[in-house]
Amino acid sequence: SPDGRWVAYFRDKKGSENSTMYLRDLGTGKDTGLVITRMKFSGVRWAPDASGFWYTRLPDPDSVPAGQEQQHRRVRFHRLADPLLLDDELVYGTGRPDIESMSLFSSTDRATTFLSRGLPYKSDDTFELTRVDGKTVMSPLFVGVDAITGVDKVGDTYLLTTDLDAPRRRVCTATS
């Protein structure tokens, strides 16, 4: 976490990559009891104030049609003040294509969190995630453009690498 108090770590069984996340309090050196399953190819991205974190998770197997247990990924936000995962805010994923990929990533300075979504091997859309009045706000940054684009942010400047009209890619900047 940004304040150095918490570490989220992942374990899986026999290389399954279907990880379980655990949260450890670094002050005590003990796990908190928070356990999040079905975190295959997932990670966490902390809110800048360390109040909680965004994560992606696969659904419980009995909540989706048989054979689709590895699809229907969702983005949620867990506030550290909430002891139960049932209270986690559903940020994104409902009503989206079942095979849509999504990933959370941070700016180089870790001050900004982004969500990238798209269909495999196609263009992707990128949103900036912020917390406002206890809720996640998704601000579109690069959406609806037929291109694969990477985003970073330094201060108020966004840095983008894109293949839009650039088969060998190009770097662009934009300010907020």
Across the chain, which distance is largest between two alpha carbons, in Å? 53
Of 73, 83, 26, nearest in space to 52 by CA: 83
Q: Is the pLDDT of residue 47 over 70?
A: yes
Residue type for position 161? T
What gap in Å lies between CA 98 and CA 70, rounded to an integer?
9
- The whole-number pLDDT of residue 152 equals 95
Which tokens go with 24?
């450890």
In this prediction, residues 4-11 reach a mean pLDDT of 95
pLDDT of residue 44: 93
Which residues on adjacent β-strands are paired with residue 138?
Answer: 129
pLDDT of the residue at 55: 95
- Of 64 and 171, more confident: 171
pLDDT one-digit tens code per residue, 75-93: 999 999 887 777 899 998 8
The whole model's pTM is what? 0.88
| Numbers of helices and strands, H then E, in the chain | 0, 14
